[in-house]
Amino acid sequence: MPAPLVTIVGHCTDVAARIFCCATKSHPVARIAWSAAGQIGTQDRELTSASPYTLGVFELRGLPASARVTYAIDAAADEASLASPASMLAPEAPTHTFRLLPTSRPLRLGLVSCNGAFQVTDVRRRYLMWRKLRDQIDSGHIDVLIHAGDQIYADAIWMKHDASAANGGLTPDATQRVEAVTEEYRRWYVERSWDAPDVAAVLASVPNLMTWDDHDIYDGYGSNDDDDEPPQQAFLKAAAQAFREFQTSHGPGAIGPPGQSFLTGFVHRDIGVLLLDTRLNRSWKTGTILGAGQLQSVEAWLETHAATLRHLFVVTSIPVVHAKVTAALKLIEMLPGRQGLEDDLREVWTASRNRAECQSLCKRLFATLSKNRGLQITLLSGDVHVGALAEMESLLGAHQQSSVRRIFQVTSSGVGHPPIGGIAMWAVRRLLTSAWVELGSADFRGRLLTLNGVEDQIIEARNFAVIRLEGDDCAWHPQGNVYVDFHAETPDGLDTRVLPQTLNG
């Protein structure tokens, strides 16, 4: 029974699940067999060709509520060659297990980003954080895993193009050439990122939700001066196609008009999760991060759903609150190799040309709090290769009557990528401050919080976060506290430590 090359549990409810599989081109049909709470089911489907692979998403509905689901997937050349359901679920057969979403308590979320584990040379350590993450999943501490961007590091695809004169003249309309680049992105997902057993075990054992960031295209896409040129747009087209196939195909579905953005999200009982697309429309030239169309879709979604929610998680790949960018831009003028740092600083929400959209996002989020007095909002982000917590406030009089005036932010990065060091870390350390920093305008401000256990504002190690909203009795915490546990790699790289945080509602 040939197992798929990649298996991902995608968006789930308490009675339904989407499960993605990627198989070899010679296996265009697949079967899933599942068992849950004494029930057994199967589903066959034809897979779609996506050279050099075939891809598909199983839609399982009517499952036993909040059950633990055991499943196996087989792929074959034709339907007659597929394994029988009994053999697929036999005790000795290789199977995966995941849990549908709970209805008796609030969701527990895991947060990861920046899976650049290939850069860790010590093979014992390379996937340590993924193994620890699997332990948390198996222990029931994570119901949904949020991937906040940089699921792959595909920069080498662009670098190969950029270094070869033979690749000149690439445009988005060069269909065959763009398809060849798309094939390279697909291979990167399968052969360079998700084929590692420790990563694959996580993807197959918990519902996963994903948004993207620059390394899913190439380093700094959208923050360079030439990203609107035809070759760069061709790479965006190729990367977006692969992203659509491998990351969003098993998600909750797009919010807003097709092609406008990869904005997505869902509501489970009284918790909402909204994943922003901070990459497709990003342009340093025009000062765009989300784009007007996506901002309108966000506003419409909030108008529809916010009144029914007690807590909303908004996922933005790059944190809204981070470094003091104005000071940082002045500082790096004195540093060697400054260009790379300057491009990174263009990425942040408070960079000069991004301030208008930062203000627009803050205004929408705080207006939503003001209109819905029982609601809390927490931002979830990645990108910066450190762990951090922050809080945001609105100083607008219209927002002062809200029962919850603050928005918290949890940043977890990276689960695989080594922590930053050298000049970059020196610069970050020089710019860390507990003072309030303007967010787009003087109407909004944010600041980093000191972390328990390190007495610092950042976790300077590989990490992931686990976030929960309930007290010890598994009911909503009466004060609305948000509990965050950072699982961080220890200095010797052979274990992790847990840094518990309480964000007071």
Assign 426 to helix, strand or coil.
Answer: helix
* Each residue's pLDDT tens digit, 258-289: 889 999 999 999 999 999 999 999 999 999 99
Among residues 112, 101, 23, which one has the least CA distance to residue 63? 101
Q: What is the DSSP string of 164-233?
A: -GGGTT--TT-HHHHHHHHHHHHHIIIIIIS-SHHHHHHHTTS-EEE---GGGTSTTTTSSTTTTSHHHH
pLDDT score recorded for residue 341: 55
Instruction: Please tell me the predicted confidence (pLDDT) of residue 373.
Output: 87
Q: What is the pLDDT of residue 335?
A: 54
Q: What is the pLDDT of residues 435-475, one digit of tens each?
A: 899 999 999 999 999 998 887 888 999 999 999 999 989 99
Give the pair of three-digit tokens for residue 329. 């831009």
Of 23-27, 172-176, 403-407, which range is least confident? Answer: 403-407
Please give the CATH architecture assigned to the domain spanning 6-98: Sandwich (2.60)
Q: What is the 3-state secondary structure (H, E, C) of 58-101?
A: EEECCCCCCCEEEEEEEEECCHHHCCCHHHHCCCCCCCEEEECC
Domain boundaries, the chain: 6-98, 101-503
Q: What is the DSSP letter of 234?
A: H
CA distance 10 to 57: 9
- Percent of the chain past pLDDT 70, that is, above it, reads 92
User: Higher pLDDT residue, 487 or 403?
Assistant: 487
The domain 101-503 is placed in CATH, from the list 3.30.70.3270, 2.40.50.140, 3.40.50.720, 3.60.21.70, at 3.60.21.70
Identical fold for domains 6-98 and 101-503, yes or no, is no
- In eight-state DSSP terms, residue 248 is I
DSSP state of 341: H
Mean pLDDT score, 362-388: 94
